[in-house]
Amino acid sequence: MITKLSKTFIVKEEQTAIEMKSGDLAVLATPALVAMLEETAKDSILELLNEGETTVGIEVNLKHVRPSRISEEIQCEAELIEQTKNILRFTLKALAGESIIAEGTHQRAIVNSEKFMAKLTK
């Protein structure tokens, strides 16, 4: 069972603060970094899920402490540290080489995909 995962991403122009309208500089936008880390967390626990289940993000707490340039390689790490019923809690870390870019925590909820999507029509 995988409960810790590391994934590599390359910063693309469309992931900059300027392009995402979250800032005025051509550096990795915090929303893009959050998406990278959420993807890593989501992928780290796929083996825990039953057929018809998925996870949805419900909380992110992140300190983004260093800028990253276009084409920079980002290593994202997510580790499952706790499960209480259907709630999964992770620690997150993003690095560029040896430098920490961001650290934080994340929670995801295990849901039945069909039941979750049915809520959209109510």
Cβ atoms of 36 and 71 closer than 8 Å: no
Please give the residue range of the domain that contains residue 10.
3-118
Tally of domains within the chain: 1
Q: Domain containing 13 — which CATH number?
A: 3.10.129.10
CB-side neighbour CA atoms (13 Å) of 78: 29
Provide φ and ψ at 97, rounded to 5°.
65, -125
Q: Which tens digits make up the pLDDT trace of 6-57? A: 999 999 999 999 999 999 999 999 999 999 999 999 999 999 999 999 999 9
Question: Is there a catalytic annotation at residue 30?
Answer: yes
Of 21, 15, 31, the C-alpha closest to 73 is: 15
Cβ atoms of 78 and 37 closer than 8 Å: yes
Question: Is there a catalytic annotation at residue 8?
Answer: no
- According to DSSP, the residues that pair with 7 across neighbouring strands are 76
Q: Which of 64, 79, 91, 103 is catalytic?
A: 64
Is 57 annotated to bind ligand?
A: yes
Total-model pTM: 0.94
Q: Which of 38, 40, 55, 106 is catalytic?
A: 38
